[in-house]
Amino acid sequence: MHAKRTISTASALEAPAPGASQAYQYAGLDGSPTAEAVLAEEVALAIAYNGISQAVMLVSPTDLEDFVVGFSLGSGIVASADEIYDFTLSGCGSSMQAEVEIASRAFWALKEHRRQLTGTTGCGLCGVEAVEQALPELAVLPGAPLPPAAWLDGLRQRIGAFQPLGQHSGAVHAALFMNDQGELLLGREDIGRHNALDKLIGALVRQNIALDGGVAVVTSRCSLELIQKALRAGLQTLVSLSSPTVLALQWARSHNLNLIHLPQHSAPRVYSPAMENRP
């Protein structure tokens, strides 16, 4: 798989500042002097598979190669990274395009279940026309041991080093990966919580990082689509800094995904597997 990025000359003047953010002035309601704040960038990324438009997602303009791979896997468009043959990124300013070449099997399956999706930062199921597509049949994970509690000690503080955009401007979510030694390896950020996880999945695939014994961490609330993306990627443990929804919990338990909530002021809460099923 090769990513080819093509940006027109005109976009050079409109390219986002380092860290996908720009500074803007604001004034206080009380008449206080103007000041400057750094705000996160977002762009519209249109994704087409084998020439057929599939989705328009609002994303942070960083790590877009990772996002294309992770979105394709996490959304079930391809079953494995081997079905992504090539892709090209192009665009200008706030409008970007991704042309993705996928295997014939994946493309025919996509056309059979094709739906128009309009991505937003709030809902990862926008545009799904049938309940069967929102609640697909996914493989049950083989199950993995829970991570040692020590791995999560001070995690909220440690992830700051992997959130440069969040530290700089706010308004973004992060997804991170911890290896089988409890070491944070990499993180990805985006205005969309599901986009951040897609980017992380894509980065893990593109860098051939082993998932065995590892832990994915999301800073956002944990709802169903994040569970589905983790299952499709083969991630065995998911830690969320915000509470899971009931449906997310039910899916995690029924699919052998370790689901842990890390509250801000209390100890980690293991929701899956069910405590009564633990030895």
Whole-angstrom CA distances from 71 to 25, 98, 99 are 34, 12, 13
The amino acid sitting at 248 is A
* Mean pLDDT within 4-26: 53
Per-residue pLDDT at 134 exceeds 80 = no
Lowest-confidence pick of 10-24, 136-150, 259-273:
10-24
For residue 64, give the 3-state DSSP assignment. Answer: helix
Q: What is the pLDDT of residue 4?
A: 66
Main-chain phi, psi angles of 161, to 5 degrees: -65, -20
Of 167, 169, 168, 162, which is closest to residue 196 (Cα–Cα)? Answer: 162
The Cα 214–Cα 19 span in angstroms is: 27
Q: What is the pTM of this model?
A: 0.82
Confidence band, pLDDT 50/70/90 cuts, at residue 117: very low
Of 152, 233, 145, which is closest to residue 197 (Cα–Cα)? Answer: 233
The Cα 190–Cα 63 span in angstroms is: 9
Give the catalytic positions in this structure: 123
CB 207 within 8 A of CB 74: no
The Cα 88–Cα 65 span in angstroms is: 9
Q: What is the pLDDT of residue 74?
A: 95
Per-residue pLDDT at 10 exceeds 90 = no
Q: What is the pLDDT of residue 24?
A: 74
Confidence band, pLDDT 50/70/90 cuts, at residue 275: low
Per-residue pLDDT at 123 exceeds 60 = no
Q: What does the pLDDT look like over 167-210, one tens digit per residue? A: 878 889 999 999 999 999 999 999 999 999 999 999 999 999 99
For residue 98, give the 3-state DSSP assignment. Answer: strand
Per-residue pLDDT at 163 exceeds 70 = yes
For residue 39, give the 3-state DSSP assignment. Answer: strand
**Given CA atoms 103, 191, 25, 163 in this order, what sign does their dihedral have?**
negative
